[in-house]
Amino acid sequence: MSASTASLHHLLDWHELDDALWFDRIDAALRHHRDRTWSQKARGKSLGLVFFNPSLRTRTSMELAGVELGAHVTTINVGQGTWGFAWEDGVVMDGTEAEHIREAVGVLSRYYDALGVRVFASGTDYERDRDDVLLKTFAGAASVPVINLESAFYHPCQALGDAATLMTRFDGQVAGKRFVLAWATHPRPLPMAVPNSALLAAARLGMHVTVARPDAYALDPGIMEQARRHAASLGGSVEETNDLDAACEGADVIYAKAWAGPLRYTDPEREASLRTETYRDWRITADRMARTRNGAFMHCLPVRRNVVVDDAVLDGPHAIHLLQAEFRLHAQKAILEYVWQL
């Protein structure tokens, strides 16, 4: 591949890119939803997807997005038929890892025209996770565009799909609507990429956003500041509360998501006890949805039924989680068009 790395159109996260591109790609995703055709726009291109973590939606929708644009797509599951990768600079590789990420990504860059990577948070080193060190290491070793398929702190494919879903749900009149990002109980300590990205997406649509979470589950202050800046520039707002029932009153959207938050890094035992015992009633129920203004229910999936949200909500008329999942395909076609400048 001959492209200079400085001119690569990576998609690591939307916060690195301007509003014009964000809204342009939402429009493109909406066009792909309206007119789902198979084209040959990316004929002759190849896409390699590298998964360090499990996936259903991202894997399949990205494979199909490439194919529907005429590209060839290969998925690599790290640890299943690949060598184990070492990440650190200067590491003495006398342990189990047989290949360094620099060689692995350097080689893949010579085969593929773009790479996608999913690499989750460590859950143990907050500074490194917040700075998305693994994603940046991967992108730094690439000489082709890299698409973030969910990193420690951001999930830009989910964010674009969610934004296009909201535009569809409200016929384009999203600005000014009330969006509640609702923390939920969960048996596992989940990372913050999705709540961060959902919050930023809603703020960047000019919505009035409420983050409803117990005090121990406040999101990173830097993310909150980014969200406030985006919302303010578009006539929206961002606030926080520890009262889920009050947040649901008059809401237009309830976006449920479990996350373990920064406390997971400093006091994992207390965090587990809060998440699974103290706050186990932080679940989206039909009663809570009844407080909304015919609000839509959203979740990125996978979702734990009757833990995060009740059957009655997921199977009810206001749940749009499947449309949300569908939009991952349309959004990722829009993202591939960007990284390849089609």
Beta carbon of residue 94, minimum distance to ligand CP (angstroms, whole number): 34
Q: How many residues bind ligand CP (CB under 6 A)?
A: 9
Q: Closer to ligand CP at the Cβ: 29 or 274?
A: 29
**Judged by CB under 6 A, which stretch of 54-62, 76-84, 207-215, 230-238 contacts ligand CP?**
54-62
Pairing of strands 208-212, 178-183: parallel
Q: Does 58 participate in binding ligand CP (rule CB under 6 A)?
A: yes
Here the tokens at position 304 are 């734990």
- Smaller CB separation from ligand CP, 59 or 280: 59
3 state SS of 208: strand
Closest by Cα among 95, 96, 66 to 82: 96
Residue (of 206, 87, 75, 82) closest to 135 by Cα position: 87
Question: In the window 205-264, what residues touch ligand CP (CB under 6 A)?
Answer: none
Give the residue, chosen from 109, 151, 158, 196, that forms a contact with ligand CP under the rule CB under 6 A.
158
Q: Which of the ranges 17-25, 63-71, 243-251, 295-303 carries the binding residues for ligand CP, by CB under 6 A?
A: 295-303
Amino acid identity of residue 162, one-letter, is: D
Window contacting ligand CP (CB under 6 A); options: 56-64, 220-228, 275-283, 286-294: 56-64
- Could you say which of 46, 55, 237, 285 contacts ligand CP (CB under 6 A)? 55
Please, which residue, 86 or 181, has the CB nearer to ligand CP?
181
- Does 57 help bind ligand CP (rule: CB under 6 A)? yes
Q: Does 303 bind ligand CP (CB under 6 A)?
A: no
Interface with ligand CP, residue 11, by CB under 6 A: no
Does position 301 bind ligand CP by CB under 6 A?
Answer: yes
Token duo for residue 143: 């000489």
| Only segment of 42-50, 52-60, 130-138, 264-272 that touches ligand CP (CB under 6 A) | 52-60
Beta-strand pair 146-148/178-183: unpaired
Block residue for tokens 């830009």: 156
SS3 state of residue 122: coil
Distance CA(25)–CA(341), nearest Å, equals 12
Position 185 contacts ligand CP (CB under 6 A): no
Instruction: State the nearest-atom distance from the C-beta of 120 to ligand CP, in Å.
Output: 10
Tokens representing 38? 């198979």
Give the nearer residue to ligand CP in terms of CB position, either 116 or 236. 116
Q: Are 134 and 151 in contact (CB under 8 A)?
A: yes
Alpha-carbon gap, residue 10 to 73, rounded angstroms: 18
Q: Which is nearer to ligand CP, 109 or 324 (CB)?
A: 324
How far, in Å, CA of 68 to CA of 90, rounded? 41
- Burial-class residue 68 by CB neighbours within 10 Å (0-12, 13-18, 19+): buried
**324 is an interface residue for ligand CP by CB under 6 A:** no
Are 76 and 46 contacting, i.e. CB atoms less than 8 angstroms apart?
no
In the complex, minimum distance from the CB of residue 161 to ligand CP, in angstroms, rounded to a whole number:
9
Q: Measured from the CB atom, is 58 or 210 closer to ligand CP?
A: 58
Which one, 57 or 130, has the nearer CB to ligand CP?
Answer: 57
Select the residue interacting with ligand CP from 300, 314, 320, 335 (CB under 6 A).
Answer: 300
Count other C-beta atoms under 10 Å from residue 110's C-beta: 9
Q: How far is the CB of 108 from ligand CP (least distance, A)?
A: 20
Residue among 3, 56, 98, 290 that touches ligand CP (CB under 6 A)? 56
CA dihedral 37, 63, 21, 113 (to 10 degrees): -110
Among 68, 113, 132, 150, binds ligand CP (CB under 6 A): 150
Cα distances from 24 to residues 66, 160, 164, 227, in angstroms, run 19, 11, 11, 20
Binding site for ligand CP (CB under 6 A): 55-58, 150, 158, 300-302
